[in-house]
Amino acid sequence: MTASQSAAPTPETTPARALTMSTIAFTVCFAVWTIFSIIGVRIKDELGLSETQFGLLVGTPILTGSLVRMMLGIWTDRYGGRLVYTATMLAAAVCAFLLSYAHTYEMMLLAALGVGVAGGSFAVGVAYVSRLFPAEKQGTALGIFGVGNVGAAVTKFLAPFVLVALGWEAVAQLWAGILAIMAVVFWFTTGDDPVTRAQRAGQRQRRSLASEFEPLRNLQVWRFSLYYFFVFGAFVALALWLPRYLIGVYGFDIKTAGMIGAIYSIPASIFRAYGGALSDKAGARTVMYWTFAVSAVCTLILSIPAADYVVQGIDGPKTFHFAVGPWAFVVVIFVLGFFMSLGKAAVYKHIPVYYPDNVGAVGGMVGMIGGLGGFILPLLFGYLNDVTGLWTSCFMALFVIVAASITWMHLAIRKLERRSVELQPA
């Protein structure tokens, strides 16, 4: 039997099955990762937290899930996605269960750090799934896997009802139990990817740990990371922040706010699969241009605060009132979520193309920076609320980020085009 034959997927490790189970597992992980977007509102009321303290609480799991992504990605490249994915889910399940026994702000922050491990599953899944598909199908496959972001919507739909009926502690315990069951199911329904099996059979040499970090010296990796800071980091931040925003601005109760927040989360997750297929067909660069352009318009509209304007008319002063109403807000946030989902898939379409042997490290690095956006931005949103007193200040910050992203991308592309022309023979 040749090495290529022994490395071919067995029936237990077919690409379709691995992709399906990885996507389901990521959905459950994401639901656990964003659990504080709902239970955090009740905890804020119980402990009398400030806006900044609330932002720190909902952002702490995002911090952990971001920081561990690069190492989890590297471990996946070295030891296989099946093992690392299962261990990640079990660790997060234990921490989510222990969260239900935390009764002080400090204890909750500590438990939130552990819960955040669930967010690191993204880097594991990207490295695992990408090894099972050829380059021309990786955009679609990774886009489908990224649909697991819909876990944020699952939490927003279901957690408010469990919270109202049984308390926030029951939400933590139930979500922990489901994640533990998912870990067991994943272990018994998947297998190792071809590269991992070849390494364990001695048919492929495992690279040195230092070589895993080599591509991170490239400025291009950091540019991709800024893109993901917006399209993913801002998505996570808004998924966490929207219930609080909707309650504060429009006076919704927590159930209604959770439902509307899910209206944002669902398209920002499900259409990621379409974004992957579109990136395969039209090109990731084109998708990124559309993503940033439309996102800039949306964040600009949402950043305008409600105000009364007085102008001097022919017959005296005239007063005009401007405000983005609740239904207009839902429509714009839906459009923003849709284009963010396309952008998330487009960013990760680039990585296996430019760095096929370092998907774990580069994908983990980009995912880490994007995830850090999900941690930093809620803190920034809370801080801006405290300092400016304007609810729309969060969208002002997002407009600045997307403007910087599209500018850097365009300048980099123009530089590459000029270099390509210079290298062409006369």
* Residue 215 pLDDT grade (very low, low, confident, very high; cuts 50, 70, 90): low
Lowest mean pLDDT among 111-115, 151-155, 159-163, 262-266: 262-266
Q: CA dist 336 to 121, 271, 279, Å?
A: 25, 12, 18
Helix (H) or strand (E) segment spanning residue 230:
none
Instruction: Report the alpha-carbon angle 246-374-258, nearest 5.
Output: 30
Residue 425 confidence (pLDDT) above 80: no
For residues 161-168, give the mean pLDDT.
86
Alpha helix (H) ranges present in 284-425?
Answer: 284-303, 326-354, 359-388, 393-423
How far apart (Å, rounded) are the C-alpha atoms in residues 272 and 319?
Answer: 44
Give me the percent of the chain exceeding a pLDDT of 90.
22
pLDDT value of position 406:
93
- Comparing C-alpha atoms, which of 413, 377, 369, 225 is closest to residue 299? 377
Query: Strand runs (DSSP E) across 206-315, as ranges?
Result: 307-313
For residues 215-244, give the mean pLDDT.
84
Q: List the beta bridge partners of residue 320.
A: 309
How far apart (Å, rounded) are the C-alpha atoms in residues 291 and 388?
Answer: 29
* Residue 268 pLDDT grade (very low, low, confident, very high; cuts 50, 70, 90): low
Phi then psi for 207, rounded to 5 degrees?
-70, 160
Query: What mean pLDDT, rounded, does the chain reach?
Result: 82
* Residue 202 pLDDT grade (very low, low, confident, very high; cuts 50, 70, 90): low
**Whether 235 contacts 217, CB under 8 Å:** no
Length of the chain: 426
* Residue 364 pLDDT grade (very low, low, confident, very high; cuts 50, 70, 90): confident
Residue 205 confidence (pLDDT) above 90: no
Kindly report, residue by residue over 97-144, the tens digit of the pLDDT: 998 888 888 888 999 999 999 988 988 988 888 888 876 777 788 888
Residue 401 confidence (pLDDT) above 70: yes
Residue 355 confidence (pLDDT) above 60: yes
Contacts of 173 (CB under 8 A, 6+ apart): 96, 97, 100
For residues 255-263, give the mean pLDDT.
77
For residues 249-257, give the mean pLDDT.
83
- Comparing C-alpha atoms, which of 399, 374, 396, 375 is closest to residue 384? 396
**Whether 47 contacts 107, CB under 8 Å:** no
Kindly report, residue by residue over 36-91, the tens digit of the pLDDT: 878 888 888 888 887 778 878 877 888 888 888 888 888 887 888 889 999 999 99
pLDDT value of position 2:
39
Torsion of CA 102, 104, 105, 109, to 10 degrees: -30
Looking only at the bridges linking them, the beta strands covering 316-322 and 307-313 are: antiparallel
Residue 178 confidence (pLDDT) above 50: yes
Q: Which residue has the tokens 């991170």?
A: 216
> Can you say how many angstroms the Cα of residue 54 is from the centroid of all Cα atoms in its chain?
20
Specify whether domain 13-423 bears CATH 1.20.1250.20.
yes
How far apart (Å, rounded) are the C-alpha atoms in residues 125 and 272?
Answer: 15
Kindly report, residue by residue over 304-350, the tens digit of the pLDDT: 887 777 777 777 777 777 778 888 998 898 899 889 988 988 887 77
Kindly report, residue by residue over 232-247, the tens digit of the pLDDT: 889 878 877 888 888 8
**Whether 63 contacts 375, CB under 8 Å:** yes
Note the maximum CA span of the chain. Answer: 93
- Whole-prediction pTM value? 0.72
* Residue 5 pLDDT grade (very low, low, confident, very high; cuts 50, 70, 90): very low
Neighbours of 50 (CB within 10 A): 12
Domain boundaries, the chain: 13-423
Kindly report, residue by residue over 374-395, the tens digit of the pLDDT: 778 888 888 898 899 899 999 9
* Residue 6 pLDDT grade (very low, low, confident, very high; cuts 50, 70, 90): very low
pLDDT value of position 90:
95
Phi then psi for 322, rounded to 5 degrees?
-125, 135
Q: What single-letter DSSP state applies at residue 320?
A: E
How far apart (Å, rounded) are the C-alpha atoms in residues 84 and 387?
Answer: 42
Neighbours of 80 (CB within 10 A): 22
